Amino acid sequence: MSVEAAELTNRKSAPDIGFGEELTGAEALLRCLILEQVEYVFGYPGGAVLPIYDSLYSSYLKHILTRHEQGAIHAADGYARATGKPGVVIATSGPGATNLVTGIATAQMDSIPLVCITGNVAQNLIGTDAFQEANITGITLPITKHNYMVRDIRDLPRIVKEAFYIATTGRPGPVLIDIPKDVSNAKAPFYYPDKVEVRGYEPTRVPTDEEVQKFLGAIHTAKKPVILAGGGVIASGADSELLAFAEKTRIPVINTFMGLGGFPGVHELALNMPGMHGSYAANQALLNADCVIGIGARFDDRITMGRTKEFAPNAKIVHIDIDPAELGKNVATMVAVAGDVKSTLIKSLPLAQECDTTDWLAQIKSWQQAHPYQYKKTDGELKPQEVIEMLYETTNGEAIVTTDVGQHQMWVAQYYKFKRTRSLVSSGGLGTMGFGFPAAIGAQLAHPDRTVISVVGDGGFQMTNQELAILKQYNIPVKVVIINNRCLGMVRQWQELFYDNRYSQIDLSCSPDFVKLAEAYGVKGMRAATPEEAQAVWKEALAHDGPVVIDFQVTAEENVYPMVAAGNTLDQMVMGDE
Amino acid sequence: MERHTIAVLVNDEPGVLTRVANLFGQRGFNIDSITVGASEEKGLSRMIITTGGDEQHLDQLIKQLSKLIDVISVTHLSKDPMVTRELALIKVNAAPSQLVELNGIVEPFRASIVDIGPSSLIIQVTGDSEKIDALLVLLEPYGVRELTRTGSIAMARSIVPAAAAV
Ligand SMILES: Cc1ncc(C[n+]2csc(CCOP(=O)(O)OP(=O)(O)O)c2C)c(N)n1
């Protein structure tokens, strides 16, 4: 390590980058990350990345050492979802790299920008089944937007530049860079390209005037239009444009699960989520609409229920998406616009006209009033929905909430009315248990001043709870809310409804004492089992200046309603406890 | 089921064929044939892929292929007049005494006998798939001992007839 490099430790600002300087591959990589304005890297060392970790020792980059690579990648993903900036993760070769797989697939399904750096064995060993060798580019080929193996140190800066560009532009996604150890150790003069040229890749597309005319033409005459706003609204940063567009045209907005927060949940035009556990009003709106305007939404089967012919049966479908392959993929469209959502809305706004939706909005209001989300309160028992409502009310919809996967995830979607974009951090597409808690770590690092709540099930939390160590080590004030029903709740619900109460393998009653578990990691732990205790404990948790784990012991038998059973259509909703 | 021929211009990098083949598997597209070779530009290869499916299927396939970073362009060749060729080598059971007879079969197809052994000979034929199929029918009675066919290669015709250009 050079003296100069050592001085960079703990520097507050980025060091000057000397071009032409002789650097190792590892040093060059870290310079590239700094030039890409990376703030945090999440990772785990090992033999194949030791050159990189050695260079990190004297780098100004902040590195978070998680306790598992899956924790690292979900944290990087949470950082990316909460900011829109790419998350960066480093793992060693072989098992380190394969531990990233679930996280990469999670990011790919939800179009989250990640740059994953893996080490590999030296090139002369590749293909020999060497110690800790895994063909990670082959393994991740179907779950990355693109991946690279660096074979020559001279290509490294260009590849890193391309990786960041590809991960963050167009439809974002994870990009993996595999670096054999000999490349990390090789030396070459460092240059960083200022332009990226990826031939044949055209990520940014602004629709033409005619396309905008066609789009507006299709909706102006509609009497019962509805916007289906997806994660693309959030990814393209189009939340204020969507708000302006909906208000100007007076078209109500259904937010898909991934779109929650992209339109204020409490707005008079807001309809919450559609689909399997969607609101009655949202599903009725889709069933009765004469025009559905998909904006950055991919009509996935949790919404169409896979019955695409019966989906929105009376509506012409208009679809805007940055990814041309999404247009016409799941549903047949009348007007399809391949373009960035934000640019499309900006271009459409001045020409958009108010639609005559007075009757339609009244109809929607009556559906909302007739069947709001609801549950029965029972004396002395704590209901999971009640906990989520409490989180919403005490934070006024302003917190960043990460969830894991299961019933609690759906209750968060239903009962927490997100006001701001990038406030819900949850694995929608892949539905990855174990995601929520580490993702909260990344979100909190990105937003040290915001309240970050990690709502987890007692099942999913136990998949990655070792990252409690990180809360303590870096004093990250995440509030972990365990919705503890002592079972795999969503599985229990399906077994109750579709498998005749045959509760096979869902019993989690032998979980650790979560309060003691938290304390074992040096984190404050609390417990509540009644509504009164919940209020008191949560108040204390919010006031506590540091991480907290709260074990909310809720009734186990609660189900998520409404529900459209798999295979049914949206008009076959089961309303549950009404 | 309609058959389509598409040309995919790709970076000549390791693993690109895997990426393309994987996409077919992942998205449930079938491949009738795939051929890869050099293109007119150094560093780029051209793949010719023939596949079956309706319009919507084809549209999705082209869009998904275009998304691959290593894919430079995708052209739907079979929507316009094109030239396609396939090459086959066919080893048939035949003694040298049957040479004249076999030549009589092979010649109208502009195929040729490229190897002769004591009990078999090899016929080389180029043309579109139908032509090769037709020749195979005629050779069947002799006993086809071994057959190897390339996939199709294809190219758009230089002059597109006015009616077809629409
Ligand atoms: C990694 C992984 N394994 C299995 C599943 C299937 N799964 C979906 S929800 C669920 C139950 C989750 O239980 P818990 O974490 O306690 O949350 P709850 O449903 O009770 O809120 C399971 C097992 C999954 N989504 N992810």
Q: What is the DSSP string of A516-537?
A: HHHHHTT-EEEEE-SHHHHHHH
- Is A131 a catalytic site residue? yes
Interface probe, candidates A136, A139, A197, A201, chain B, greatest B C-beta count within 10 A: A201
Q: Is A329 on the interface with B (CB under 8 A)?
A: yes
DSSP letter string over A120-164?
E--GGGTTTT-TT---HHHHTGGGSSEEEE--SGGGHHHHHHHHH
- Read off the tokens for A238: 């189009």
Question: A39 catalytic, yes or no?
Answer: no
Q: What is the dihedral of CA A526, A532, A534, A540, to 10 degrees?
A: -60
Which residues does A382 contact at the CB level (< 8 Å), separation at least 6? A528, A529, A530, A531, A533, A534, A552, A553, A554, A555
* Nearest atom in ligand 1 to A490's CA: 19
A31–chain B Cβ distance below 8 A for any pair: no
Beta-sheet pairing, B71-76 with B3-11: antiparallel
Ligand 1 centroid to residue A428 C-alpha, Å: 13
Is the CB of residue A432 below 6 angstroms from any atom belonging to ligand 1?
yes
Tally A–B CB contacts below 8 A. 39
User: Does residue A485 line the site of ligand 1, with CB under 6 A?
Assistant: yes
Give per-residue pLDDT as tens, B97-151: 999 999 999 999 999 999 999 999 999 999 999 999 999 999 999 999 999 999 9
CB A49 within 8 A of CB A97: no
Please report which residue ranges of A338-383 form alpha helices under DSSP H: 341-348, 358-370
Distance of CA A412 to CAs A2, A278, A407, A451, Å?
51, 12, 9, 16
Per-residue tokens: A380 = 């002395």
Q: Does the Cβ of A477 fall within 6 Å of ligand 1?
A: no
Higher pLDDT: A30 or B160? It is A30
Alpha helices in B107-153 (DSSP H): 129-139
Q: How many CB atoms lie within 10 A of CB A68?
A: 17
The candidate with the shortest Cα–Cα distance to A541, out of A517, A561, A515, A564, is A515
Distance between Cα A373 and ligand 1 center (Å): 22
> What are the residues of chain B with a beta carbon less than 8 Å away from any beta carbon of chain A?
9, 11, 14-15, 18-19, 22, 26, 56, 59-60, 63-64, 66-73
Confirm whether A132 is a catalytic residue: yes
> Given an 8 Å threshold on Cβ–Cβ distance, is A200 in contact with B67?
no
Under 8 Å between Cβ of A227 and A254: yes
Degrees, nearest 5: CA angle A413-A417-A420: 105
Look at residue B2 in the predicted model and tell me its pLDDT. Answer: 86
Provide the pLDDT for residue A60: 85
Helix (H, G, I), strand (E, B) or coil at A305: coil
Residue B135, both tokens: 């020749």
- The pLDDT of residue B13 is above 80: yes
CB contact under 8 A, B19 and A323: no
* Maximal C-alpha separation, chain B: 57
Query: Ligand 1 mean position to A460 CA, how many Å?
Result: 6
CA–CA dist A341, A331 (Å, integer):
19
Residue with tokens 């059971």: B93
- To the nearest 10 degrees (0 to 180), the angle between helices B55-67 and B16-27 is 140
Q: Is A197 on the interface with B (CB under 8 A)?
A: no
**A51 Cβ closer than 6 Å to some ligand 1 atom:** no
Confidence band of B166 (pLDDT split at 50, 70, 90): very low
Indicate the residue of B19, B56, B64 with minimum beta-carbon distance to A325.
Answer: B64
Phi, psi of A237 (to 5 degrees): 65, 35
Which residues contact residue A118 at a Cβ distance below 8 angstroms, ignoring those fewer than 6 apart? A48, A49, A90, A91, A92, A93, A96, A97, A100, A136, A176, A177, A178, A179
Whether the CB of A433 sits within 6 Å of ligand 1: yes
- Beta-strand runs (E) in A4-98: 22-24, 40-43, 62-65, 87-91
The amino acid sitting at B48 is I
Chain A nearest C-alpha distance from B70 (Å)? 8
Check: CB of residue B51 under 8 Å from CB of residue B61. Answer: yes
CA distance A175 to A160: 10
Q: What tokens appear for A306 in the block?
A: 């896979």
Ligand 1 pocket test, candidate residues A433, A455, A458, A485, most atoms within 8 A of CB? A433
At A205 the pLDDT is: 85
H helices of A354-418, where? 358-370, 384-395, 407-415
Q: Answer yes or no: do A323 and B73 touch at CB < 8 A.
A: no
Phi-psi region of B143 (alpha: psi -120 to 50; beta: other; left: phi over 0): left
Nearest to A141 among B14, B22, B67 (CB): B22
Cα end-to-end distance, chain B, whole Å: 23
Residue A404 Cα to ligand 1 middle (Å): 8
Closest atom of ligand 1 relative to the A102 alpha carbon:
1
Cβ of residue A484 lying under 6 Å from some atom of ligand 1: no
Cα–Cα distance list, A39 to A63, A81, A524, B166 (Å): 9, 15, 28, 54
Which phi-psi region, left, alpha or beta, contains residue B43 (left: φ > 0; alpha: ψ -120 to 50)?
left
Please indicate whether, in this complex, the C-beta atoms of A325 and B22 are within 8 angstroms of each other: no
Nearest Cα neighbor of A273 from A294, A298, A255 is: A255
Judged by a CB distance cut-off of 8 A, whether residue A243 touches chain B is no
- Other Cβ atoms less than 10 A from the Cβ of A60: the count is 16
- Rounded to 5°, the CA angle A42-A233-A490 comes to 65
DSSP string over A492-516 = HHHHHHHSTT---S-B-TT---HHH
Q: How many angstroms away from the CA of A223 is the closest CA of chain B?
A: 30
CA of A232 relative to ligand 1 center, distance in Å? 26
Nearest residue in chain A measured CA to CA from B74 = A200
A138 touching B (Cβ < 8 Å):
yes
Q: What is the pLDDT along chain A (578 residues), one digit of tens a residue?
A: 233 333 333 334 455 667 889 999 999 999 999 999 999 999 999 999 999 999 999 888 999 999 999 999 999 999 999 999 999 999 999 999 999 999 999 999 999 999 999 999 999 999 999 999 999 999 999 999 999 999 999 999 999 999 999 999 999 999 999 999 999 999 999 999 989 999 999 898 889 999 999 999 999 999 999 999 999 999 999 999 999 999 999 999 999 999 999 999 999 999 999 999 999 999 999 999 999 999 999 999 999 998 888 899 999 999 999 999 999 999 999 999 999 999 999 999 999 999 999 999 999 999 999 999 999 999 999 999 999 999 999 999 999 999 999 999 999 999 999 999 999 999 999 999 999 999 999 999 999 999 999 999 999 999 999 999 999 999 999 999 999 999 999 999 999 999 999 999 999 999 999 999 999 999 999 999 999 999 999 999 999 999 999 999 999 999 999 999 988 999 999 998 76
Inter-chain residue contact B69 with A141, CB threshold 8 Å: no
Cβ–Cβ below 8 Å for B15 and A141: yes
Rg, C-alpha atoms of chain A: 24
CA distance B6 to B50: 6
Per-residue confidence (pLDDT) for residue A520, from 0 to 100: 98
Query: For ligand 1, is residue A47 a contact (CB within 6 Å)?
Result: no
Q: Tell me, using a 6 A CB cutoff, whether residue A355 lines ligand 1.
A: no
Among chain B residues, CA nearest to A137 = B15
Q: Are residues A282 and A258 in contact, defined by beta-carbon separation less than 8 angstroms?
A: no
Residues 6+ apart with CB under 8 A from A154: A188
Q: Which of A302, A435, A456, A488 to mutate to test the pocket of ligand 1 (most atoms within 8 A of CB)?
A: A488
A217 touches chain B (CB under 8 A): no
Contact residues for A16 (Cβ-Cβ < 8 A; gap 6+) = none
Specify whether the CB–CB gap between A115 and A87 falls below 8 A. Answer: yes
Q: Is A490 annotated as catalytic?
A: yes
Q: Which of B13, B59, B69, B73 to mutate against chain A (most A CBs within 10 Å)?
A: B69
Q: Which helix (H) or strand (E) holds B123?
A: strand B120-127
